[in-house]
Amino acid sequence: MAVNVALRGVSRRYPGLIALDKVDLEVAPGEAVVLTGPSGSGKSTVLHVTGGMDRPDEGSVEIDGKELLPRDLDGHRRRIGFVFQRFHLLPALTVLDNVLAPVLPRRVDFDRRERGMELLEAVGLGGRADALPAELSGGQQQRVAVARALINRPGLLLADEPTGNLDSVIGREIIDLLMSLREQYGMTMIIATHDPEVAANGDRVVRLQDGRITSNQRITASADVLDRLGGLRP
């Protein structure tokens, strides 16, 4: 089920620099928020802190109103999906086994193969379960990565430059896919991107600069209008 996410006064510091500076951000259940901003502005850090891969130095992350505590992090990470710019598929495993990889070492209360096949169908690759990643195009590999991200039925999907390694037509297909899966499976989404096309397809665009939110706008305009107005490019 789609979750509510809230970052409250989140700061993350590294020696000599502030990656996030008291960031407040609330994302409603089922909402798709797009993070934009120049390189180094803190987009990935927001995703990592939200996903429990990194910890704030100050402030808190709340999921459905409950603060994420260190002891909850393992469970939290299993309840979210993560899609990366580089697909990070395991080259020696088949497409189906890549989708199942997150749950292979664990006991689960569902039929792995059945769910893996269902997800491959959902991303349009039902016929390629036995292929190896190298036999697929980049767009198809990203579809496999999306299916893998959904294997635990996450209520939250985090995506870091999901179209960054794809040409614009294929990137567009991946965005359409993510948006339709969001409705089909009921997920909240946070997507970091430099791609104005992605931004135009979210519900809200949050722009970061030097670790701070400089604008937070609902989407009503098309990509090129947004690009002209907001300067979404790095």
Ligand X SMILES: Nc1ncnc2c1ncn2[C@@H]1O[C@H](COP(=O)(O)OP(=O)(O)OP(=O)(O)O)[C@@H](O)[C@H]1O
Q: What is the C-alpha separation between 230 and 24, in angstroms, rounded?
A: 21
Min CB(86)–ligand X separation in Å: 12
With contacts defined by CB under 6 A, how many residues of the chain interact with ligand X?
12
Q: Does 50 bind ligand X (CB under 6 A)?
A: no
Q: What is the C-alpha separation between 46 and 114, in angstroms, rounded?
A: 33
Q: Does 16 bind ligand X (CB under 6 A)?
A: no
Q: What is the C-alpha separation between 157 and 146, in angstroms, rounded?
A: 9
Of residues 146 through 205, those in contact with ligand X by CB under 6 A are 192
User: Contact letters (x/-) for ligand X, 121-150, by CB under 6 A?
Assistant: ------------------------------
Rank residues 96 and 191 by Cβ distance to ligand X and give the closer one: 191
Q: Does 37 bind ligand X (CB under 6 A)?
A: yes
Q: Single out the residue of 45, 163, 188, 201 in contact with ligand X (rule: CB under 6 A).
A: 45
3-state secondary structure (DSSP) of residue 111: coil
Is 189 within 8 Å of 182 (Cβ atoms)? Answer: yes
Is 152 within 8 Å of 79 (Cβ atoms)? Answer: yes
Rank residues 54 and 118 by Cβ distance to ligand X and give the closer one: 54
Q: How are beta strands 66-67 and 58-63 bridged, if at all?
A: antiparallel
Q: Does 230 bind ligand X (CB under 6 A)?
A: no
Min CB(99)–ligand X separation in Å: 26
Q: Does 14 bind ligand X (CB under 6 A)?
A: yes
* Region binding ligand X by CB under 6 A among candidate stretches 43-51, 75-83, 143-151, 213-221: 43-51
Q: Does 91 bind ligand X (CB under 6 A)?
A: no
Residue with tokens 């997920």, as numbered in its chain: 187
Q: How many residues does the chain have?
A: 234
Q: Single out the residue of 43, 76, 143, 148 in contact with ligand X (rule: CB under 6 A).
A: 43
**Residue 163 DSSP symbol:** T
User: CB within 8 A of 177, min separation 6: which ones?
Assistant: 123, 124, 143, 146
Rank residues 192 and 226 by Cβ distance to ligand X and give the closer one: 192
63 strand-pairing partners: 5, 66
Is 149 within 8 Å of 119 (Cβ atoms)? Answer: no
Q: Single out the residue of 40, 59, 138, 230 in contact with ligand X (rule: CB under 6 A).
A: 40
Residues near ligand X (CB under 6 A) are 14, 17, 19, 37, 39-45, 192
